[in-house]
Each structure stands twice: as structure tokens, then as C-alpha cells.
A and B are shown apart, each in its own frame.
Chain A
Amino acid sequence: GAGVSQSPRYKVAKRGQDVALRCDPISGHVSLFWYQQALGQGPEFLTYFQNEAQLDKSGLPSDRFFAERPEGSVSTLKIQRTQQEDSAVYLCASSLVAAQETQYFGPGTRLLVL
């Protein structure tokens, strides 16, 4: 079956622009996660949804970052007024039910802020 997909795969933004990154989890997966992966680092947790409820957003680095999953499937991560330090790969992952299950990762969106 189809895995987790993300779009766009690459995004170049000018500093100050807003961007929206999309994640399509595996169909039927309840839990969805966003991670930020800087070059040469491990993924860092941003936020977690169970269905449409955002249960944990403790990893969002600033109020410029906002995530939603209004119908409990597709999720969007929005970054307002992008800064150069936002440049990273943004990974989405989903798991079937609980958070403590296998998380399947999408290919990521590589964001470059100039």
C-alpha cells in the first residue's frame, strides 16, 4: 500500500515568506508526527496529533510554527515569516494507533530559506 507522502519535496523560500508543508499519512493511521531534521543531526520532535487533536506541540520552536490536521488525516505544517535557521528537512511520520508503535516516515520536505 501507499506509504507516507509529503509535498513539496523541495521548497526554496525567501526570508520572511510563509510556507506550508503537507503530509499525507498512511490511510487509517491515527497518530501523526512532525519532526525537523537539520543537516547531520537526528530528527527533532515538533508536534503530535491523534486524529484531529494536537496532543503535544512542545517541540515547535516558536509561534511562527503552526500545525493542523482538521479532518484527522492530512496534516499541514505552516511556517510564517521564515528565517534562515528554519532551513532543514521536515519529516512527517504516522503510526497505526498509539504513539508507541512503529512510526513510518515520509520522504521529507527539504526547506531552504535564503
Chain B
Amino acid sequence: GENVEQHPSTLSVQEGDSAVIKCTYSDSASNYFPWYKQELGKRPQLIIDIRSNVGEKKDQRIAVTLNKTAKHFSLHITETQPEDSAVYFCAASRALTFGKGTMLLVSP
């Protein structure tokens, strides 16, 4: 089955800085890679996703890059704001295999 590793587990940045979260996956057949944001006690919310036929996708301050050869993908958040503070999960494949999450703390 699929195995997803996510790093770091915690990331603290100053407001306005960039944040990068990285994930690796094991199943070369995986071709769908979403990122979810989960605030405390809330449901996961999709923030961006990428399919294996593209290498990069951007949506305002959020971007995702995918390296299929190396089997890793990354979330990039620029100009971070305090409201970006949450736990972020990457996932891979059909019935999603999730990483363990990254708690992002943005200090004003």
C-alpha cells in the first residue's frame, strides 16, 4: 500500500515569512496529491491539489510542487498570516493516505 511521510511535524514562522512543508510517497502509481488544512476541532478543508500530469500549481499565496521521479511533493505558503495557523496534511493516492500532519504556527 501507499506510505506518506510528512516533514516537519511543527513549523513556526513569523508573519510575512514563507512556509514549506514536504511529503514523500512510496507508490509510484499514485497520481493525485491534495493538501488539507485542519483547524482545531474542525473538519479537514482542501486548500490545493495536484495531479501527476503537472509539476506545479499555484493559487494566490499557496503553491504545490510535485517531483514524480523523486516521489515527493511540497506545499509552499508565501506571506504567511496568523490565520494560516493550523495543521496541514498532505495525502496521496485514491483512498487517501495521509501524512501525520504539520502544525504551522504563524506569529504576528
Binding site for B on A (CB under 8 A): 33, 35, 40-45, 48, 56, 58-59, 91, 99-108
Contact = CB atoms under 8 A, between A and B. Distances in A.
Interface residues of B, number: 23
Contacts, number: 51
Nearest to B42: A107
Interface string B51-95: 100000000000000000000000000000000000001010011
A105 B97 contact: no
A42 B98 contact: yes
6 contacts: A42-B6, A42-B99, A48-B94, A59-B95, A100-B32, A102-B49
Interface of B: 1, 6, 31-32, 34, 36, 42-46, 49, 51, 89, 91, 94-101
Q: Which of B43, B96, B100 has the most CB of A within 10 A?
A: B43
B98 A44 contact: yes
B94 A100 contact: yes
Given A105-B43, A108-B43, A48 B34 contact: no
A108 B42 CA distance: 8
